[in-house]
Chain A
Amino acid sequence: EAEVAQSPRYKITEKSQAVAFWCDPISGHATLYWYRQILGQGPELLVQFQDESVVDDSQLPKDRFSAERLKGVDSTLKIQPAELGDSAMYLCASSFLFGSGSQYFGPGTRLTVL
């Protein structure tokens, strides 16, 4: 069964350092999402792509976070500089249908900022 791939699974970094997360969605899924999940809470959308275009980045802290999906397939989320409050699980998801339908999640990257 096709899955969403994410790497790394775990990342420990010191504050002010740069970190990057990678996501490869299910083949054929044009819509890709990045979520942040703080421990004990539900995921919160950071950015949504349709192919290579950003369709929603209203909750992305643009002073330190950036995301790209250059060829409309895999995607990278970057944080520079990392802050203590960025410690969380970063989840990537993809969906086949644009605008509605279920989303398929990757295993996530657990980020710890020291």
Chain B
Amino acid sequence: SQQGEEDPQALSIQEGENATMNCSYKTSINNLQWYRQNSGRGLVHLILIRSNEREKHSGRLRVTLDTSKKSSSLLITASRAADTASYFCATDSGTSYGKLTFGQGTILTVHP
């Protein structure tokens, strides 16, 4: 079962623009993680934000978490063609040995 819902399902932008993806979830969480998946490949961990954190940065990535609204957003600044990929949020509810429940993903296309 998929806990997260991601919005938009697909996003197309030009190189240099910012990309924002949103994730909503249903149950309380221990942490929320974002992963990237290039076409036909495995997932790569991008960033983890704990339930007591509100914002986190890593390079060109900025993640926010609003536990009252059960939502998170991933912002990629100054996007590059190499950022073209699917992006997934995954929630760890803290009740099942670190089990992650993934959303459906957002397909990001960055045009050169």
Given contacts A45-B100, A97-B98, contact A102 B48 (CB under 8 A): yes
Question: Chain A: interface residue count, which band?
Answer: 20 to 34
**A101 to chain B: which residues have CB within 8 Å?**
48, 98
For B20, what are the chain A residues with a Cβ–Cβ distance below 8 Å?
A: none
Q: What are the residues of chain A within 8 A of B100 when measuring CB–CB?
A: 45, 103
- Among B11-19, B36-44, B59-67, B68-76, the one that faces the other chain is B36-44
Question: Are B102 and A43 touching (Cβ within 8 A)?
Answer: yes
CA distance A39 to B33 in the complex (A): 21
Q: Are B102 and A44 in contact (CB under 8 A)?
A: yes
Contact of A31 among B2, B40, B98 (CB under 8 A): B98
- Judge if A34 is at the interface, Cβ distance under 8 Å: no
**Count of chain B residues with a beta carbon within 8 Å of a chain A beta carbon:** 28
Query: Which residues does chain A contribute within 8 Å of B1, judged by CB atoms?
Result: 44
Contacts of B94 in A (CB 8 A): 100
* Contact indicator A91/B43 (Cβ below 8 Å): yes
Find chain A residues with CB under 8 A from B103 CB: 42
**In the complex, A2 Cα to B42 Cα: how many Å?**
14
B98, A100: Cβ atoms closer than 8 Å: yes
**Chain A residues in 8 Å Cβ range of B56:** none
Asked if B88 lies at the interface with its beta carbon under 8 angstroms from chain A, I say yes
| Closest Cβ neighbor of A43 among chain B residues | B102
B54 touches A (CB below 8 Å): no
- Give A68-114 interface residues, CB cut-off 8 Å to B: 89, 91, 93, 95, 97-108, 110
Partner of A110 from the list B30, B31, B35, B40 (CB cut-off 8 Å) is: B40
> In chain A, what residue has the closest Cβ to B6?
A42
Residue on B nearest A102 in the bound complex, by CB: B45
Q: List 5 A-B contacts (CB under 8 A).
A: A4-B42, A40-B104, A56-B99, A101-B98, A107-B41
Interface residues of A (CB under 8 A from B): 4, 6, 31, 40-45, 48, 50, 55-56, 89, 91, 93, 95, 97-108, 110
